[in-house]
Amino acid sequence: MELTANETYQMIGKVESINQGAHFCNTTIMTLESEHINLKLDFDQLEGLMMGKVYQFETQAVYKVEDELVLRCLSFVPAEDVLKNEDLAKAMEMFYTYAPMPMMEIKKGIESYLHKIENPILRAIAETIYKEHEQVFYLHPAATKFHHAYVGGLSFHTLTMLRLIDPFITVYPYLNKDLLYAATILHDMSKIGEISGVDGEYTKEGLLIGHLVMQTVDVDRVARTLGFEDHEETLLLKHMIISHHGLMNFGSPKKPQTGEALLLWYIDTIDSKLTVLGESFEHTAPGSFTQMISVLDRMRFYKDKLKK
């Protein structure tokens, strides 16, 4: 890009590399225009910059030596803090492998289920937590590698699970739809704090506590703030979240002990496995077996040649 001395430039970019030495530090970013640009950093900026993350950068063109102009980073903020939904969706879909559905379509779908919750206590708890994490929820992966490990994977997984609820309720009408909608929307929300991002790893809290307990604590916090800590809805919602991995050797502190908790475990398992199987079939010729699939006990699955 052409630079003019002392001019300031604002750009959206994904961090590709971070370099530092005894007397220098800089980062290379890829912009929305697909340019690779080097930015000079101050040492105190290093702590807040994360590899693979998208930021809005404020920069200034300054002279390095003689007539060579370089860009000095004045400040940066996460893209999700400054871009509107549509612009953020375009940026994420350019920089990353995104979920197999547009961000705004996922968002519209999830919010339609949020608005169908009729119980005022469950609605208030779910809406409060959802709004606290609304922007980053649509950017986060559902895992680092096993399933939905891409930008938007967390929200896409959540929407697929929500779509499975109504057919089950039709067959088993004793199940409470409001509990199922609220718990499904919230069940993996704490993966935002458990995993550092799509190019990241598990955080210290994620490794030591895990998202089931983290999210149960968060529901308890919001319920207390709203004055709902002693209501049965809060107790049942917390039970569903803390038990949604089903078995203790899969990380559940408790096994499901309500019909809704049992179904939440099942639909979570169904989507985490069948979505990965479908993705594997995309790279498998009819009449052949997939590669071994980690989330399916490292089994290989046959892709039939039947006409669909």
**What is the distance between the alpha carbons of residues 215 and 255, in angstroms, rounded to a whole number?**
16
Task: Tell if the pTM clears 0.75, that is, is over it.
Answer: yes
| 18 residue type, one letter | I
User: What is the reported pLDDT for 255?
Assistant: 96
- Report the CATH number of the 8-81 domain: 2.40.50.140
Instruction: Tell me the pLDDT tens digit for each residue of 101-141.
Output: 888 899 999 999 999 999 999 999 999 999 999 988 988 87
CB distance 246 to 255 below 8 Å: yes
CB distance 40 to 73 below 8 Å: yes
- Per domain, the residue ranges of the chain are 8-81, 85-281
Per DSSP bridges, beta strands 69-78 and 25-31 are: unpaired
Instruction: Tell me the pLDDT tens digit for each residue of 173-200.
Output: 999 999 999 999 999 999 988 887 666 6
| Close Cβ partners of 281 (under 8 Å, ≥ 6 residues apart) | 290, 301, 303
Half-sphere exposure (Cβ direction) of 261: Cα atoms closer than 13 Å: 21
pLDDT band at 308 (very low <50, low <70, confident <90, very high): confident
Question: What integer is the mean pLDDT of 244-270?
Answer: 93
User: What is the reported pLDDT for 87?
Assistant: 86
pLDDT band at 73 (very low <50, low <70, confident <90, very high): very high
pLDDT band at 5 (very low <50, low <70, confident <90, very high): confident
- Between 146 and 196, where is the model more confident? 196
Per DSSP bridges, beta strands 8-20 and 54-63 are: antiparallel
User: What is the reported pLDDT for 196?
Assistant: 75
38 pLDDT higher than 60: yes
User: What is the reported pLDDT for 146?
Assistant: 59
| Close Cβ partners of 32 (under 8 Å, ≥ 6 residues apart) | 11, 12, 13, 91, 94
pLDDT, mean over the chain: 90
Closest CA to 164 of 140, 139, 137, 184: 184
User: What is the reported pLDDT for 213?
Assistant: 96
- Token pair, residue 139, equals 């950017």
User: What is the reported pLDDT for 23?
Assistant: 85
| 254 residue type, one letter | K
**What is the distance between the alpha carbons of residues 276 and 305, in angstroms, rounded to a whole number?**
20
